[in-house]
Chains A and B, each alone.
Chain A
Amino acid sequence: MSNNGNPSNQAGESGLYNRISVLRAERGITRQQLADALHINYQTIGFLERGDYGPSLKLAFGLSEFFSLPIEAIFSTRPFQPLSQQVYGRRTPEDDPFNHQ
């Protein structure tokens, strides 16, 4: 079941923010497929996505390898900015051509 809201901005019990559900959706893979690739139970993916479980270093590296991204792009101790904002940089309202205020 996918998370409603913004999972990358929920730390849950682990105190870690993560982008797993975003990355998974981006690549169009199910929890089961990701779990099989990492040799873990698919429920654990749900716990990770909700931030209710902080992974071991081994699992974090496994995720990093799977998504071909550095660990800090997947996990953070602070809330993530939306990916689009991070990629295209922060825009002030004055820079926005569609802002007619």
Chain B
Amino acid sequence: MRAELILFGKPIDLSRQHRRRILVVCVYAALLLALASLAWFASTPSNLLVGSTYVFFFTLGINYVLLGGYARSGLIRAFANTPPPETARTPFIPLALRVRPIEIVDTEWRNDERELQVRDRAHYSAYQVVSITLVFIWLLNSWTISPLRFVKWWPQTIVHDTASLLALVGVLLSITLPQAIILWREPDMAELPLDDEN
């Protein structure tokens, strides 16, 4: 995990756990707001589909700029743990949007064995949450086709829309949750090595 983000050329110190937690809360507040807007404004299934696509790409953007993990930039080093290709160095540098210029040095992309363990634990925790979301989607869909129709008074379109929104929630969680768990759990980083008192 990196200790700071560089956004629009400004370094933001995120070595403290409480700051990272604030970032995680802000990210999920923004996603919740986007989902609430989608649920409120999408009046037809096609509107819902288009809105979902916007929310999906919005999440990918947040992941790219802030969280990392499934991107080369962001706070979390890439989970893939492989050196970046030569072509991955460029596009956003002119706008200073890239969180951190990518240099092909070990420390920039390589997760050590503890970080890999942390990554795997975070995915295990996230997997459970995503699984629960999948169960809810399955239940909702089952209700609509079940002869028993437990929720007869619920219009079928609302059930379908809710299932679609839940599916989107599952996708968003699978994109962001492992990184958020790591950012939430990791303790304050040690002082900078230069201040190290041995």
* Contact of B196 (CB < 8 Å), options: A32, A39, A55, A58: A32
CA distance A31 to B195 in the complex (A): 10
B113 lies within 8 A of A46 (CB): no
A28 lies within 8 A of B198 (CB): yes
Question: A41 within 8 Å of B by Cβ?
Answer: yes
A30 lies within 8 A of B114 (CB): no
A43 lies within 8 A of B106 (CB): no
B196 lies within 8 A of A31 (CB): yes
A30 lies within 8 A of B112 (CB): no
Question: A59 within 8 Å of B by Cβ?
Answer: yes
* Contact of B113 (CB < 8 Å), options: A1, A29, A42, A56: A56
A30 lies within 8 A of B193 (CB): yes
B: residues with CB less than 8 A from A are: 1, 106-107, 110, 112-115, 117, 189-191, 193-198
Top 5 nearest A-B pairs (CB, nearest first) are: A32-B193, A40-B112, A30-B196, A46-B190, A44-B114
Sample of 24 A–B contacts (CB below 8 Å): A1-B190, A1-B191, A1-B197, A2-B198, A28-B198, A29-B198, A30-B193, A30-B194, A30-B196, A31-B190, A31-B193, A32-B196, A39-B106, A40-B112, A40-B113, A41-B115, A42-B190, A43-B189, A44-B113, A46-B190, A53-B117, A55-B113, A56-B113, A59-B113
